[in-house]
A and B are shown apart, each in its own frame.
Chain A
Amino acid sequence: MAASERIVERRRVFQQYKEDVRERGKPFYPFAMLHDTIMSLVVVLVITGLAIVWKYTTPGDHQTVEPGWLGRLYDEPADPGTINFVPRPDWYFYFLFYLLRIFKWPPTVVIGTVGLPTVLLILLLALPFIDLRSERRLSRRPVAIVAAILVVISMGVLTYKGATAKEALGTELLALVPSWAQQQGFENNEQALAGARLFAVAGCLNCHTYLGAGGTNLGAPDLSAEGAKNKGIKFQVDHLACPACVNPGSPMPSFSGLGKERLQQLAAFLEASKGPK
């Protein structure tokens, strides 16, 4: 059908729609409004119910940070000096969170963080101009059906994967320090040993991997052989204090809160990590 014919046709259909509704429709009030009202009440009840379950399944006197069925009422107060868990966004950003494990930084991380979400947003905005047919019956819109199923499945899988992403606990990692020292051969380097203990508890392994330990959140690189690159202590300290200054575009947070001395120890540890023998 030519474009001009299609425009004439869809105008005709909309005129018909208006006529159909005006002459044979039903008034919004009270018929449709009744159902809107019932649905709205259900929404308010569900929200209230969630709030009640959140509070009343939380053990203790609510001064604690013990989780109930729906998670903690609040976590420990923010402390810019320490991370001892995986920084985790709210559930509706899990898909994005997980995309960052697929795209390893730095060259491709931008695809996961900005590229895909931007493309998705543009596709969504442009949808009415991509799909110009006036056909609305599902049986005649196979492409739309397949696209919808693919989007739902991929968002579902990414959200699930993000929700179950592996977390590394500082206390368990601390036990690995002697084995690291032995494998890397820095048992007698006090600075590096102190740095290794810091590395285990400061949350580095939530994103980085080291000799098989740790997660790969945000697609951060493996650090087992970081020292083999011989970047030097000064580079390592500068990078830890401000990753994005040294490595533009890095999503790694600043660790300047640890203080100069600790950064020196961490740097010594990284430089001593020449890769397992």
Chain B
Amino acid sequence: MTTTRRPPTRNEQLQQTILYPVDWLEERSGLVGGIRYFLFRKVPGDINWFQTLGSATLTAFIVQALTGSILAMYYKPDPNSAYPSIQHITNDVFAGWLVRGMHRWGASVFIILMFLHMGRVFLFGAYKYPRELNWIIGVLLLAMGLGEGFTGYLLPWDQTAYWATVVGINLNGTAPFLGPFIAQFLQGGTYINADTLPRFYAIHMLLIPGAIFALIGLHLYLVIRLGVTSPPWSKEAAGTGTMIPSQNGGRRGLTRPSTRRRSP
């Protein structure tokens, strides 16, 4: 069959112009296809609200990263000026109290959400084959999160912060073999000294967050690659072959199908 080439209509020309940057990006990176795959990948129809805890944890982490970056613009990691800089942020900087408050309380919310998310995965048995590796990455993320809590607690350089950290470092020091080395590394010396605060600051805002970003990337990659599990009590759980085909483009599970009769 032969087709005669006709010149593109005005509409088609417009469309091509608009899509040109998207096509350009896709041709060189495949990113557009990746995003499309991420958004339109299929998930089991019966997933429920408990399965939003993971993305809620991610949101809490993003809040920490953003508020932390803003705090870093005003905070001074030096024993003489740390405390005044915290006062300055809280009392003088525009909305400084809000950013600092969100960082302070966001930390607790982040930790609570990590535990809830972990509890959900445990109860759903979602750590089982083939998702073992993602469970391990999650446990590492929990440990990193607690490390952020420990190192961040010192930064206001007030009495609570200082003495809790002194005791915390001494506790690390009680570990057999490695303990004294860990304590010395954390303090930057045999005692807490002027180098300890910048050291905690660097660990708190560079070392651990970098590791957390990398691990979250892996975590999400595995979630997308392996898919999310159906709730174990579901009568139509994916993997049992009893799944009911989705109607209306998948309006089931989280968004229940309307029981009202549709108008013809």
Q: Nearest Cβ in chain A — how far from B122, in angstroms?
A: 6
When the two chains form their complex, are residues B125 and A62 in contact, meaning their CB atoms are under 8 A apart?
Answer: no
Instruction: Known contacts A32-B43, A136-B128; decide if A87 and B173 are in contact (CB<8 Å).
Output: no
Contacts A28-B38, A110-B174 given; does A87 touch B164 at CB 8 Å:
yes
In the docked arrangement, what's the CA distance between A133 and B125, Å? 10
State the CA gap A106–B254 with chains docked (Å): 54
**CB of A17 closer than 8 Å to a CB of B:** yes
Q: A34-B254, A114-B175, A249-B173 are in contact. Are A46 and B109 (CB under 8 A)?
A: yes
Does residue A134 face the partner (Cβ distance < 8 Å to B)?
yes
Q: Cβ of B97 and Cβ of A51 under 8 Å apart?
A: yes
**In the bound complex, what is the Cα–Cα distance between A14 and B125 (angstroms)?**
14
Measured between alpha carbons, how far is A46 from B109 in the docked complex, in Å? 8
Q: A39 → chain B, closest Cβ, in Å?
A: 4
Complex alpha-carbon distance, A148 and B41, angstroms: 32
CB pair A129 B132 closer than 8 Å: yes
What CA separation (Å) do A10 and B125 show in the bound complex? Answer: 14
A78 at the B interface (CB under 8 A)? yes
Of the residues B58, B129, B139, B179, contact of A249 by C-beta under 8 Å: B179
Given A52-B98, A87-B163, 18 new contacts (CB under 8 A)? A16-B239, A16-B240, A21-B227, A26-B249, A27-B249, A34-B255, A35-B49, A43-B113, A78-B158, A83-B159, A83-B163, A89-B150, A89-B168, A92-B149, A96-B171, A110-B174, A121-B139, A128-B135
CB <8 Å contact, A25 and B232: no
The answer to whether B233 touches A148, judged by C-beta atoms less than 8 angstroms apart, is no
Interface of A is mostly: helix
Contact between B59 and A55, CB atoms less than 8 A apart: no
CB proximity of B145 to chain A, nearest CB, Å:
9
Q: In the complex, which residues 247-264 of chain B have their Cβ closer than 8 Å to any Cβ of chain A?
A: 249-255
Are the C-beta atoms of A85 and B44 separated by less than 8 Å?
no
**Top 9 A-B pairs, shortest CB-CB distance:** A26-B250, A51-B101, A25-B42, A136-B125, A17-B239, A78-B162, A128-B132, A50-B105, A87-B163
**Number of B positions contacting A (CB below 8 A):** 100
CB-CB under 8 A for A31 and B55, given A22-B42, A125-B136: no
- Find out whether the CB atom of A29 lies under 8 angstroms from the CB atom of B40: yes
B146 within 8 Å of A (CB atoms) = yes
Distance in Å: Cβ of A105 to nearest Cβ of chain B: 8
Max chain A CB contacts within 10 Å: which of B122, B146, B179? B122
Cross-interface CB contact of A127 among B135, B146, B162, B232, cutoff 8 Å: B135
Interface flag for B7 (CB, 8 Å): no
Query: Most chain-A CB neighbours within 10 Å: which of B91, B127, B139, B192?
Result: B139
Contact of B86 among A74, A121, A254 (CB under 8 A): A74
